[in-house]
Amino acid sequence: MERKVVDELEPGPVPPARPVDRFGFIKQEPSNSNESTTVKNLSAHEQERDERRVRKWRKMIGVGGSDWKHYVRRKPHVVKRRIRKGIPDCLRGLVWQLITGSRDLLLMNPGVYEQLVIYETSASELDIIRDISRTFPSHVFFQQRHGPGQRSLYNVLKAYSVYDRDVGYVQGMGFLAGLLLLYMSEEDAFWLLVALLKGAVQAPMEGLYLAGLPLVQQYLFQFEQLVKEHLPRLGEHFSNEMINPSMYASQWFITVFSYSFPFHLALRIWDVFLYEGVKIVFQVGLALLKYCHDDLVKLPFEKLIHALRNFPEDAMNPDTLLPMAYSIKVSKRLEELKEEYEKRNGKAVQSAESNGKQLVALKRKESTGRK
């Protein structure tokens, strides 16, 4: 069995203890990061403010999330505002499950995850094992070779590759699953991955990982048009230098910024992404280009590529970048560009989205039938 193969691998030596940040990532020395300074020097006033935020959130979601749906229906504007300010880290895992509907999927499918992990086989096993050590390698949870973190990551990815054999396993999925595992159990992370890829609440993400990456192609087309419209001078410079979004933005969409962005910023983006959908990825991308606009328009091809893959630290401050992103209105234009893309390229993406929703509905139906 696949599970047995991995379980038979001996865990490697436990890495030596090294200083970590508040999220569990090994600190790079020397570090002058604003993030680490901010965390170290929280004043009594700021600590009190954070505690008030947590109390407000606990009241909003209720015990174990019991009041969440009622509160969202009554005060959606308050929920949206608070999510944009950032979900308290101690509640993030639970709130993510409530936002995405993954908690409901888990409750409707008892025993399914265990079945997938223990008794099913996957054609992607070797690919998953090969890639595991590349997922958040500087985080203490995933550092030990074949240790608890890597085993959990393997289990989630293997289970999904069996659950949806059309998607199977694609490398970028490891960063999604890895991020989720830092905030919840294996089974919770699996069902949240299902909710994301199959579209339990927001538009399904599975097109990002299907053969040919159809949804990636659509998003890159939309993003390129938005750059030309919102930042025409930079868009023209990109055209002159033969730069297109596939050279720098693919990973933004495939991993929702979890691959190379500072973790504290990625978390804030994920909070909004899970509640409002993929438009935040476009908004953050545009905000980054806008923030660095005056420098980018001066750079030739080689330096431009490097800059687009290595944004300066001051551009990555969530309290600066995210308000700028929220101010960029893209929803209506994204719909128009999606229609334009589908007219040019057929209905492949639309078909993938439809299939995703049908599969979630089928799982729900099967679950109901087993009860």
Residue 95 belongs to some domain of the structure:
yes
How many Å apart are CA 230 and CA 108, to the nearest integer? Answer: 44
Torsion of CA 72, 78, 79, 81, to 10 degrees: 160
Residue recorded with tokens 């998003």: 219
Sequence-distant (6+) residues with CB within 8 A of 311 are 288, 292
pLDDT for 176 beyond 90: yes
Distances (CA, A) of 366 to 2, 109, 358, 361: 25, 8, 12, 9
Residue 365 belongs to some domain of the structure:
no
Residue 68 belongs to some domain of the structure:
no
Q: What is the pLDDT of residue 3?
A: 47
Q: Are residues 197 and 103 in the same domain?
A: yes
Tell me the β-bridge partners of 139.
25
How many residues would you count in the chain? 371
Q: What is the pLDDT of residue 10?
A: 67
Tell me the β-bridge partners of 26.
20
Q: What is the pLDDT of residue 30?
A: 54
User: What is the per-residue DSSP string for 329-341?
Assistant: --HHHHHHHHHHH
Tally the domains of the chain: 2
Domain that includes residue 236, residue range: 214-345
Q: Are residues 235 and 335 in the same domain?
A: yes
pTM over 0.75: yes
Q: Are residues 189 and 132 in the same domain?
A: yes
Residue 17 belongs to some domain of the structure:
yes
Instruction: Give helix 173-181 / helix 148-163 axis angle, nearest 10°.
Output: 130
* CATH number for the domain harbouring residue 162: 1.10.8.270
Residue 327 belongs to some domain of the structure:
yes
Q: Are residues 268 and 339 in the same domain?
A: yes
Q: What is the pLDDT of residue 28?
A: 76
CB contact at 8 A, 102 and 183: no
Confidence of residue 12 (pLDDT cuts 50, 70, 90): low
The sign of the dihedral angle between the CA atoms of 161, 166, 169, 175 is: negative
How many Å apart are CA 284 and CA 290, to the nearest integer? Answer: 10
Q: How many helices (H) and strands (E) does the chain have?
A: 23, 0
Distances (CA, A) of 139 to 10, 35, 259: 20, 16, 13
Q: Where are the strands (E) in 100-216, listed by range?
A: none
Query: Of the ranges 115-124, 139-148, 332-341, which is most confident?
Result: 332-341
How many Å apart are CA 210 and CA 204, to the nearest integer? Answer: 12
Segment 28-56 mean pLDDT: 68
Q: Among 149, 179, 201, where does a domain finish?
A: 201
Q: Are residues 107 and 225 in the same domain?
A: no
Q: What is the pLDDT of residue 48?
A: 87
* CATH number for the domain harbouring residue 322: 1.10.472.80
CB contact at 8 A, 206 and 198: yes
pLDDT for 349 beyond 80: no
Q: What is the pLDDT of residue 364?
A: 46
Give exposure, 9-26, as e/b (b: 16+ Cβ within 10 Å).
eeeeeeeeeeeebebbbb
Q: What is the pLDDT of residue 49?
A: 87
Q: Are residues 183 and 256 in the same domain?
A: no
Residue 63 belongs to some domain of the structure:
no
Tell me the β-bridge partners of 25.
139
Residue 318 belongs to some domain of the structure:
yes
The sign of the dihedral angle between the CA atoms of 294, 298, 304, 307 is: negative
Q: Are residues 17 and 121 in the same domain?
A: yes
- Alpha carbon 184 to its chain's center: 14
Distances (CA, A) of 20 to 16, 36, 71, 111, 152: 12, 10, 36, 36, 21
The string of pLDDT tens digits covering residues 135-149 is 999 899 998 888 999
The string of pLDDT tens digits covering residues 248-303 is 999 999 999 998 899 999 999 999 999 999 999 999 999 999 999 999 999 999 99
**Nearest to 322, CA basis, from 266, 253, 248, 259:** 266
* Residue 185 structure tokens: 């159990």
Distances (CA, A) of 180 to 116, 136, 177: 18, 12, 5
Count other C-beta atoms under 10 Å from residue 45's C-beta.
8
Distances (CA, A) of 304 to 201, 224, 241, 283: 37, 16, 9, 20
